[in-house]
Chains A and B, each alone.
Chain A
Amino acid sequence: MEWYLPVIWAGLIGTAVAMYVVLDGFDLGVGILFPFAANERERDQMMRSVAPFWDGNETWLVLGGGGLWVAFPQAYAVIMPALYIPVIVMLLALVFRGVAFEFRTVSRSKTWLNVAFTVGSGLAAFAQGVILGGLIQGVTVRNGSYAGGPLDWATPFALLCGVAMIAGYGLLGATWLTMKTAGPVSSRARGQAKWLLLAVLVFMVAVSAWTPLVENRIAERWFSLPNFFFLWPVPVVTALIALLCWRWLENGRDVPPFLAAIALFLLGYLGLVISNFPYLVPPTLTVWETAAAPASQIFMLLGTVALLPIIIGYIAFVYWLFRGKVREGESYH
Chain B
Amino acid sequence: MDFDPVLLGRLQFAFTVTFHIIFPSFTIGLSAYIATLGVMWIRSGQDRYHVLMRFWTRIFAVSFAMGVVSGIVLSYQFGTNWSRFSTAVGNVVGPLIGYEVLMAFFLEATFLGVLLFGFNKVPPWLYVLSAAIVAVGTALSAFWILSANSWMQTPAGYTLQNGVAYPTDWVAAIFNPSFPYRFLHMLNAAYLTTGFVVLAVGARYLIAGRHPEESRTMLRMAIGLLAILAPLQLIIGDQHGLNTLEYQPIKIAAMEAHWDGSRPGDFHIFAWPDEQAETNRYALSIPNGASLILTHRINGLFPGLKSVPAAERPPVKIVFFSFRIMLAIGFFMIAAALLGAFLWWRGTLFEARWYSHIMAHCWWTGFVAVMAGWITTESGRQPWLVQGILRTADATSPVTGESILFTLVLFVLAYGVVFSFGIYYINRLIAKGPDETAEEIGHVPANPLAAAEER
Contacts and interface: CB of A to CB of B under 8 A. Distances in A.
Interface string A102-141: 1101110000000000000000000000000000000000
A293 B80 contact: no
Contacts of A62: 72, 75, 101, 105
Dominant secondary structure of chain B at its interface with chain A: helix
Interface in B148-172: 166-168, 170
Interface in B96-136: 97-99, 101-103, 105-106, 109-110, 113, 117, 120-121
Contacts of A303: 98-99, 102-103
A86 to B, nearest CB: 11
Interface stretch (B202-210, B328-336, B347-355, B403-411): B403-411
Contact of A105 (B72, B109, B167, B450): B450
A92 interface: yes
A95 B66 CA distance: 10
B60 to A, nearest CB: 14
Contacts of A321: 121
Contact of B80 (A67, A88, A147, A292): A88
A80 B397 contact: yes
Contacts of A98: 65, 69
B75 A69 contact: yes
Contacts of A144: 87
Interface string A297-333: 0011001100100110010001001000000000111
Given A77-B86, A95-B69, A293 B105 contact: no
A210 to B, nearest CB: 27
Contacts of A65: 75-76
Given A69-B86, A102-B65, A296 B79 contact: no
Given A59-B109, A80-B397, A300-B94, A293 B167 contact: yes
Contacts of B98: 66-67, 69-70, 300, 303
Contacts of B103: 303, 307
Nearest to B70: A95
B399 A150 contact: yes
Interface string B413-429: 01000100110010000
A66 B449 contact: no
A308 B91 CA distance: 22
Nearest to B164: A293
A73 B414 contact: no
A292 B86 CA distance: 10
A78 interface: yes
Q: Name the interface size band of chain A.
A: 35 or more
A307 B107 CA distance: 9
Contacts of B94: 69-71, 73, 292, 296, 300
A74 B87 contact: yes
A59 B117 contact: no
A55 B406 CA distance: 28
B83 A146 contact: yes
Nearest to A48: B446
A96 B105 CA distance: 21
B87 A296 contact: no
A223 interface: no
B92 A296 contact: yes
B449 A295 contact: no
Interface in A40-77: 48, 51-52, 55-56, 59, 62-63, 65-67, 69-71, 73-74, 76-77
Contacts of B78: 69, 76
A145 B83 contact: yes
A150 B406 CA distance: 11
Given A81-B83, A293-B166, A146 B398 contact: yes
A311 B414 contact: no
A263 interface: no
A249 B170 CA distance: 55
A138 B391 CA distance: 31
Contacts of B99: 300, 303
B285 interface: no
Given A66-B98, A80-B397, A145-B87, A295 B166 contact: yes
Contacts of B105: 59, 62
B100 to A, nearest CB: 9
10 contacts: A59-B105, A66-B102, A69-B79, A77-B87, A80-B80, A85-B407, A92-B414, A102-B447, A147-B398, A296-B91
Given A80-B79, A98-B69, A311-B110, 16 more contacts: A56-B109, A62-B75, A70-B94, A74-B86, A77-B79, A77-B397, A78-B83, A87-B80, A99-B421, A102-B65, A105-B449, A106-B450, A147-B398, A296-B91, A314-B110, A333-B444
Interface of A: 48, 51-52, 55-56, 59, 62-63, 65-67, 69-71, 73-74, 76-81, 84-85, 87-89, 91-92, 95-96, 98-99, 102-103, 105-107, 144-147, 149-150, 292-293, 295-296, 299-300, 303-304, 307, 310-311, 314, 318, 321, 331-333
A-B pairs with lowest CB-CB distance, top 7: A80-B79, A73-B90, A106-B453, A77-B83, A70-B98, A70-B94, A81-B397
